[in-house]
Structure 1
Amino acid sequence: MHIGVTIFNEHVARQDIKAGRVVEVPLPRKQFAEYYAVTPKGPKHPLTEAFVMWITGLL
């Protein structure tokens, strides 16, 4: 059995929530959050920037 906690946008987890694999914890909606894209040191994969821009658009 695996147990963990993560925070992510509902849009990203919609299918897992519907399937019951992820349980949404009700929290107050007036929260401040900061998001960071963490990548390894060294050369970036050519699609890294495109992915970061896409995920930023979801948030």
Structure 2
Amino acid sequence: MKKILKTRKSDAANYLRSEEAAQTYLEDIFSSKDPALIAHGLAVVVRAGFAGAVSR
């Protein structure tokens, strides 16, 4: 009998606890120069409640 592994959905927005963390996250995302990753990173930061970090 195979054992079924239970997993939970993970959201990076749950780990951004400060505006400084959001800014650092965005800096790393923008350094990739990947448009899809940048769009996703912006959505994560806004979902985390740091829209101000996006506007800067």
Q: Shorter-normalised TM-score: what interval?
A: 0.3 to 0.5
| TM-score, with length taken from structure 1 | 0.32
| TM-score, with length taken from structure 2 | 0.33
- Greater share of residues in helix: 2
Higher relative contact order (CA 8 A, sep 6+): 1
